[in-house]
Amino acid sequence: MQAGPEQLAERALPAGAYFRGAGAAAIIGAMSIQRTVVITGTSSGFGRLAAEAFAADGWKVYGTLRNVATRNAAAADALRAAGVTPVELEVTDDRSVEAAAKRILDESPVIDVLVNNAGQAFFGVTEAFTPEAVSRQLDINVVGPLRVNRAFLPAMRERKAGLIVYVSSVVGRIVLPFTGPYTASKFALEAFAEATAYELAPFGVDVAIVQPGAFTTSIGENITGADDAARIASYGDVPALAENVSAGLGAAAAERDAAEVARAILALANAPAGMRPLRTTVPADQATDMINAATAPVQRAVIEHFGLGVLLPKEPASA
């Protein structure tokens, strides 16, 4: 005789730990549903590691990247080998984002988690970046997530469930010289993410901001420098001080495993809805954690002052 849901429930749990009745059937039903995640920027770094971590955890994973059939063909093949479905997506191109979202949503109408990870770093003397270069930095790191959100959020809001993860940085809270465009983009991303956290609360969609410290990933290997050589030269010996920043970040990164960030993202995805902290530093960072802890009550007070307490999360805004 075929086993019913109650019998399956008993088999699924360790000996001596049984849930019986209708509740058991509901638990098994929930356990059997494969959840779906979309992660941007999965050709390498945090995105690639996160995609692999989610796939290993049993999720259906769509990993987006540029140039799937050409420059990143090897990365796409590696993703497939890890159980990830690679999808062509350029976060700065409206049509590319819309086409990718259509393909994904046609195959998997329910997206449980969206991870906005794709990004690029522009480092150098701030004045030496042309307006066009800074606009490019902001388009990738700030407007890009907006494009992706607009493609996937309507379905999440309609379902009244989901999680949006933004991969920010500790320099979304702390300013270092020679990181102006990148730091500005991360400060902007943090504000953008927190605003959406309040606005999406009535729809049951959670928002989580991950703030990595220094890690060795491809973003550090593909830094874009300032593009006005004459302005750089006019600063004399000052630009050479940027080596102090690079050396400090490199020393910190050498002691860390970038997979820690992937594990933090996965942990947020697996956490109960409505109980996820708004900000998570990886690894714990005293300076950034102090800023997060100090600003959270001020932020809540301001929101309440404007009569918007209904939009506040149940848990403190920082953790």
Q: What are the tens digits of pLDDT across the range 170-216?
A: 999 999 999 999 999 999 999 999 999 999 999 999 999 999 988 87
pLDDT: is 284 or 16 the higher one? 284
Annotated catalytic sites, by residue? 43, 168, 182, 186
Cα–Cα distance between 299 and 217 in angstroms, integer?
Answer: 33
Angle between helices 45-56 and 259-270 (to 10 degrees): 50
Tokens of 203: 């729809």
Contact call for residues 174 and 287 (beta carbons, < 8 A): yes
With cut-offs at 50, 70 and 90, classify the pLDDT of residue 315. Answer: low
Question: What totals of helices (H) and strands (E) does the chain contain, helices first?
Answer: 13, 7
Q: Average pLDDT of 147-175?
A: 97
Cα–Cα distance between 88 and 69 in angstroms, integer?
Answer: 9
With cut-offs at 50, 70 and 90, classify the pLDDT of residue 255. Answer: confident
CA 67 vs. chain centroid, Å, equals: 21
Mean of the per-residue pLDDT values of the chain: 89
Map out the domains of the chain with their CATH numbers: 34-311 (3.40.50.720)
Question: What is the percent of the chain where pLDDT is above 90?
Answer: 80
Is 54's pLDDT higher than 60?
yes
Q: Average pLDDT of 70-74?
A: 96
pLDDT at 234: 98
User: Scanning the structure block, which residue is given the tokens 């002691």?
Assistant: 255
With cut-offs at 50, 70 and 90, classify the pLDDT of residue 287. Answer: very high
Q: Average pLDDT of 107-133?
A: 97
Is 25's pLDDT higher than 80?
no
Q: Average pLDDT of 72-81?
A: 97
Is 235's pLDDT higher than 60?
yes
Tokens of 75: 């990365």
Q: Decide: pTM greater than 0.85.
A: yes
User: Scanning the structure block, which residue is given the tokens 């506040």?
Assistant: 312
Type of residue at 161: A
Is 286's pLDDT higher than 80?
yes
Nearest to 100 by CA among 141, 45, 148, 140: 148
CA 133 vs. chain centroid, Å, equals: 23
Give kind and range of the element (H or E) at residue 289: helix 286-305
Nearest-5° angle of CA 83, CA 87, CA 90? 140
pLDDT at 249: 82
Q: Average pLDDT of 44-49?
A: 95
pLDDT at 59: 98
With cut-offs at 50, 70 and 90, classify the pLDDT of residue 32. Answer: low
